[in-house]
Structure 1
Amino acid sequence: MKKEQFEFNELPYPALARFGLTQEMIEDLPMRVLEEIGQGGYSPVLPVRVTDEKGEVIESRSRFAFIRMESGEVDVVFYPALKSSPLERYDEAQQKQLLDGKAIVADVEMADGRHSKAFVQIDEGTKQVMYVPTPIIASNLKVLSEVMHLGAVEVKGMQNGNLLTVVVDDEPVTVGIDLHNKTGIRFCPGDAQGWREQPKREWDKYTFGCYGCWVMDDEGNLDYVPEEEYTEELWNEQKKSAERNRAVGLHK
């Protein structure tokens, strides 16, 4: 399947702005995040704000991804955070695995209405249920098994949603199925606990951009503060960040 590429100058900023995500907020995301969404991947869970028919402002959180329409124009699809995951179609054992953060193989209804086997997983950030057809992940697992010399039992364990920790160059590396990843498989140096915590560790508490700062709270939620609303604490943190970056540059 062809992977779409989206350029900054064709992104639907007006559509994003209707949900409270300004162009400045998007451009202030870390470069690794911009590269990910520019390749058709999901955004982080970000704050969104909409006005309902009564004129009341509703605040929520959502991921988004860009899609290319038949006309060639780029549009945006939102994946809002839910209070709970819709798991009615799965049996009790499958629900337990999903709620434990594991991927399962189940029969799902595809976009075209057909039913097919797919890897299914809950997005921890939004509680949305994600799925990817099994042949895609199975093919990537086959390549992984050949590269890492894995046995059938180890591959089967990963297919059942288990994490696998192996030793590479005398250091532990953990690998498991993560449907947010481009390949559906994510690697992390360290043990299984480190693998589970890796997505949150990729963000600092303060991520400064050109126009403002993305701030992560103790629960992992991201919020944006434009420069004109900086507190004294944020100005101090920006100075510290600039000093650290300057020191890194001098030591290169």
Structure 2
Amino acid sequence: MNKVERFQDSEIPYELLASFGLTQEMVEDLPMKVLEQLLSGQRTPLLPISIQDSEGKAGNYLARLSLVRVEDGIDVMLMPYKESTLLEEFEEQQQSILRNGSALYSEQDALYYQLDASTHQIMSMPSHVIEHNIQVLGKSIDMVSSDVEQLMHGEILCLSKEESPITVGIDLTEDVGIRIVNGDRVAWEKEVAGEDLPLYSFGINGCWVNDGALSYVREEDYTQEMIDALEEKASQVRSNALHR
């Protein structure tokens, strides 16, 4: 499968990220799962960013981010949210498939298409890349040929691996075009949608709020609901420590 780039904590380009409105404090407070996605070269969920145009005027956006290694260091790829117009170029039945989050195979284009529900952009990947990766995956987890065929047709499969369920499906937000989740289809769909992140992820300086996209609230701006949630979390930690 494609090589996945790894980054060390010390390589995070804080100054560059700050130029997009993400301060070092905000980055360090990211939920552990999101921070791991960033360090493994994957795309993050939607994050609030600020970009200046050629006239120096700043605009606020939501975008997925990923780190990339370049000749002179590390840079950031931005995938902003925007309303999709390309969806209209597909036939009605194909639009329905895409809106449902499924992968659409086009034999004519030799591509797989999928709608990124967070950014509303149509993603694509060459079919031979997906098919190759599925074949490799099939060998690594002992899938039968019928499972491989179903995956290639865009279906989501729940398989048994060492008596535990794993769910596999095409997901073009992943570098290799395939997502594997420990759990059933519900767990797979929650991870794709980012619903596996809690509503509140408290850090040292503030809290990331998961309301479909991640937003950051500094500690001094916590609402009463957030204060109550933080106190409840602290109480659970104390209770768990006492019962060890």
Note the residue ranges of structure 2 that are not aligned, 5 or more in a row.
none
Once the 2 structures are TM-superposed, how far is the Cα of residue 46 of structure 1 from its aligned partner?
0.9
* Alignment TM-score, normalising by the size of structure 1: 0.80
Question: Is the counterpart of residue 227 in structure 1 residue 219 in structure 2?
Answer: yes
Once the 2 structures are TM-superposed, how far is the Cα of residue 240 of structure 1 from its aligned partner?
1.2
Once the 2 structures are TM-superposed, how far is the Cα of residue 28 of structure 1 from its aligned partner?
0.8
CA distance in 1, matches of 2:177, 2:42: 12
Which stretch of structure 1 is more off in the superposition, 149-158 or 220-229?
149-158
Match of 2:13 in 1: 12
Aligned equivalent of 1:207, options 201, 204, 216: 201
Q: Deviations over 1:223-250 (max 9, x none)?
A: 1001121223322221111222333344
Match of 1:175 in 2: 168
Tell me the number of residue pairs that the alignment of Structure 1 and Structure 2 aligns. Answer: 242
| Residues 1:244 and 1:135: Cα distance change in structure 2 (over 3 Å) | farther
Question: Is the counterpart of residue 127 in structure 1 residue 120 in structure 2?
Answer: yes
Identity between Structure 1 and Structure 2 (%): 38
Once the 2 structures are TM-superposed, how far is the Cα of residue 208 of structure 1 from its aligned partner?
0.2
Match of 1:142 in 2: 135
Match of 2:178 in 1: 185
Partner letter of residue 61 of structure 2?
S
Q: Is the 8 A contact 1:85 1:127 kept in 2?
A: no
Partner letter of residue 103 of structure 2?
A
Question: Is the counterpart of residue 216 in structure 1 residue 222 in structure 2?
Answer: no
| Residues 1:168 and 1:215: Cα distance change in structure 2 (over 3 Å) | same
Which stretch of structure 1 is more off in the superposition, 60-69 or 123-132?
123-132
CA distance in 1, matches of 2:231, 2:122: 41
Note the residue ranges of structure 1 that are not aligned, 5 or more in a row.
109-115
CA distance in 2, matches of 1:92, 1:247: 54
Q: Deviations over 1:14-49 (max 9, x none)?
A: 222222211111111122221221111111111123
Once the 2 structures are TM-superposed, how far is the Cα of residue 51 of structure 1 from its aligned partner?
4.4
CA distance in 1, matches of 2:3, 2:139: 24
Aligned-pair Cα RMSD in Å: 2.9
CA distance in 2, matches of 1:184, 1:44: 16
CA distance in 1, matches of 2:233, 2:206: 13
* Alignment TM-score, normalising by the size of structure 2: 0.82
